[in-house]
Amino acid sequence: MRVPKDIEKLLNQRIYAAIQVQSADYVLAAWLEKNGIEVEEYDILGGVEIYGNPNSSAERIRQAIIDK
What confidence score (pLDDT) does residue 59 get?
98
Q: What share of the chain is helix, strand, coil (3-state, %, to 5)?
A: 75, 0, 25
Structural domain boundaries, residue 19: 5-67
Predicted TM-score (pTM) of the model is 0.85
Q: How many domains does the chain have?
A: 1
> What sign has the CA pseudo-torsion 64, 61, 57, 38?
negative
pLDDT tens sequence across 17-50: 999 999 999 999 999 999 999 999 999 999 999 9
As a whole-number percent, the residues of the chain with pLDDT over 90 amount to 99
- Banded model confidence at residue 13, pLDDT cuts 50, 70, 90: very high
